Homo-oligomer: A and B are copies of this chain.
């Protein structure tokens, strides 16, 4: 076990047996997998955490299946862990209490793509990249682009409030969710939100559900705001002496009013990893910035030229490369897209944090990260969404004996981030992985309030227990 699971109440065996019978009777055997192999496949996501073996995996084929599952499980006191693609990095989709895994990946319809109202209505199982493609075929654009866009799904993106490189200009998933259809533990269906861009009737329940990590409700439909596809895109790649110089350039670009859609930084160790995996990265470079601008042709070209001038004259810059067509853009992005795989090859174990600091503190974060890696003797490499101050700090190790040092390095990173005025997670969520650190950032009063909000949606603590904060005790049935 790489990551200890929280101590959550486990369902009683008789309740699990009754749940399996009731679910199969209601949904049909084909949607309720109780086989050991079938259940084992749903114990993990893309985090370090391994859950407890669920008693059943429900493969919902409709919103009604979701409703029925949540009603039956609630009645029998059985915990439910919702899941879309399972690509999350904080353990949000890991069944820490066993129970039932509720997979919504088959709710994969793009029900509406509306060019006049600039919105899409989709099921939670729509793959983000498929939505990108469907939108762009219509001249529309869905900006959030988590690195796993080829496999992650909208339901998970909304549950985790996913980001991605384009967030620098376009914001994160939260900015695109107009409304949801969501099912509460117990089976009640709610439709907070709307189809309009503005709207202030009542509390923003939609915003409360976005990023709630599957602990408040299960999405069965999402209404997303779209924008027009930007007709022109230009990509620049700048090589720097070192990460500090690149970070200072990022801060200067932000300060001077540049709004590229992406502003990505890779540090020296990241470039080492890239070269090791065969990417042709200039050996002189100690850091790299990827800068992409978009918009209407003349506007984007002007922004591109301004960005090019700023990059070319930045202290510590070695070279600026330009991509004006899709093929050369893909070449520049290939290195960024390959990073997660490339770093995996460097060591047996990898853990990716996603801390955020105010933009002006980026250089300090990079310095602090380097220092704490040295202090604890833990290899690390850092890359990510520098324009937003959101960096992926990857810790690498090869033997279980090194894990305690990694834990100390992570805690130091969290403390350094909070000391810089930052936050523990910009994209991945708290889940299981960051729950031990939540109190470093948030007061006990704020955490208690959030537990009380959770209890409004899920009084018995049966929906995705053990996530964000330790689950309150639930009554066994």
Contacts and interface: CB of A to CB of B under 8 A. Distances in A.
Nearest to A452: B456
A476 interface: no
B198 A203 contact: no
A225 to B, nearest CB: 10
B201 A424 contact: yes
Given A443-B190, A445-B190, A456-B456, A117 B359 contact: yes
Interface string A389-402: 11000000000000
Interface in A296-350: 296, 298-299, 302-303, 306
A264 to B, nearest CB: 14
Contact of A211 (B114, B200, B211): B200
A298 to B, nearest CB: 4
Contacts of A174: 204, 207
Contacts of A298: 298-299, 302
A7 interface: no
B190 A446 contact: yes
Interface in A151-189: 160-161, 163, 167, 171-172, 174-175, 188-189
A204 B215 CA distance: 13
Interface of A: 114-119, 139, 160-161, 163, 167, 171-172, 174-175, 188-192, 194-205, 207-208, 210-212, 216, 227-228, 251, 254-255, 257, 259, 295-296, 298-299, 302-303, 306, 356-360, 385, 388-390, 421-430, 434, 438, 441-443, 445-447, 449-450, 452-457, 468-469
